[in-house]
Amino acid sequence: MVKPGKFYEEPIDPYLPSAGNRGYRVSRYELDLTYKVSSNRLAGKASITAATTEIRPRFAFDLSQSLAVSKVTVNGSRSVKYTHQHGKLTVTPAHKIPAGGALSVTVQYAGTPKPVRGPWGEVGWEELTEGAIVASQPNGAASWFPCDDHPSSKASYEISITTDSPYYALANGVLVRKQTRASQTTWVYEQSEPMASYLATIQIGPYERRRVTPARHLVTAEAPLEVPMHAVLPQRLRTAFEHDFGRQPEMMDTFVRLFGPYPFADYTVVVTDDELEIPIEAQGMSVFGANHCDGRRGSERLVAHELAHQWFGNSLTLGAWRDIWLHEGFACYAEWLWSENSGGPSAKEIAAQAHRTQAGLPFDLLLGDPGPRLMFDDRVYKRGALTLHALREILGDAAFFDLLRQWTAKYRHATVTTEEFTDLAAHFTDRPLRPLWDAWLWSKPLPA
């Protein structure tokens, strides 16, 4: 029961009821950050440009309690009341802003950043042995900047990070400026394509950056001749990386052919000096641990998975976490497609094996709405991939890959839903697809 006078709102997403906010739409974040590696100390100024969607007395942003706010302005005015409680920075402007009005908020803050704890472990800003990593899926962005931390809220970013000069600092987008003063270096990145907050990242470590031999693509009106690809990693891992990630240009070529033009300016793989349990995607980059460079290409399946997320997850981003199969099912199926196109087992063979495995697991998951507890369950990945393979069997290869290319083109840099995908798929066959979707997305038993 809500107490009288209590400010209450329905959650934007029941999977993460405390994440995301109402009353505005962010168009741009400008983050000016300074990070001290030795003490894990972060100081920041966030400038948020938004437009209001309704008249309201106050606006909230997601921000971890590990960071203390020292100053807030709204539309240039310091006549602002603000509170910072329970992971919400709530600001009350001196005057109400009309619907459709400009909302320009600056926040100065500092503290010792820590990951956000949740049902899926710890996510967000995390210390490495020497440096830092940011892996925010699904709700860790608030661990390092004030934001509207929901995937349907996509904006452009400028990220400036100042840190100790021996370290390499990387953020999303294109490096537009780098300046060294005394013992510190400032790196400024521009991410012009819209990005969800959980995909924003900072990576800091004893790294070097090198160019990866670019993949040559078919020349089309939409795609450039090549996608610039880079590696940022410790020098000691360079030889193993060149072997383990050596087929990445060919992989890029394959995915451009199957999925359509690569959606960003370039692609960077970061390999940390530490081991990581799993690799993670960010917009325009993927992050792997030193353990994924084993000299035997033991993680090539994951290399394909993370690259595929640039299309499915980063360019086309779910609007609600119930639709997570649109990210993970597609990226998992991309692993199978890479195998099929690189001399390994066919997607059909891998699907048959995956189906046998799934048949031995509990049937308590609804792929189209798995619930927050199971949203990252491996069955979402494998059943999602099996759903796509079942669709491919019905459509045939030509129509299936035409569908994927139209899907990525129509919703490039946008927010997507399961319904939009199923509606689009209906245009590629005369056969009714409702039985397929009912069986695979909306029933718990594993279809034949």
Question: Residues at the annotated binding site?
Answer: 305, 309, 328
Name the percent of the chain in helix, strand, coil, to the closest 5.
30, 35, 40
Q: How far out from the chain centre does Cα 41 lie? A: 25
Supply φ then ψ for residue 16, to 5 degrees. -130, 75
381 assigned to active site:
yes
Which stretches in the chain have pLDDT values below 70?
1-8, 214-225
Enter the pTM of the model.
Answer: 0.95
pLDDT for 7: 52
- What fold is seen in the domain 318-440? Neutral Protease; domain 2 (1.10.390)
| Architecture (CATH level 2) of domain 24-205 | Sandwich (2.60)
pLDDT for 214: 59
Q: Are 110 and 43 in contact (CB under 8 A)?
A: yes
pLDDT for 415: 98
The mean of the pLDDT values for the chain is: 95
Q: Are 236 and 218 in contact (CB under 8 A)?
A: no
Of 24, 198, 262, 381, which is the active-site residue? 381
Tally the C-alpha atoms within 13 A of residue 443's C-alpha that lie toward its C-beta.
12
pLDDT for 4: 44
Q: Residues in the chain, how many?
A: 448
Question: Residues at the annotated binding site for Zn(2+)?
Answer: 305, 309, 328
Q: Are 292 and 276 in contact (CB under 8 A)?
A: yes
30 assigned to active site:
no
Query: DSSP characters for 50-90?
Result: EEESS--S-EEEE--TTEEEEEEEETTB--EEEEEETTEEE
pLDDT for 226: 84
Give domain limits for the chain: 24-205, 208-310, 318-440
Of 306, 333, 335, 420, which is the active-site residue? 306
pLDDT tens for 295-313 read 999 999 999 999 999 999 9
**CA separation for the pair 150, 121 (Å, rounded):** 18
Task: Give the right CATH number for 208-310 from 3.30.930.10, 3.30.2010.30, 3.30.450.40, 3.30.1330.60.
Answer: 3.30.2010.30
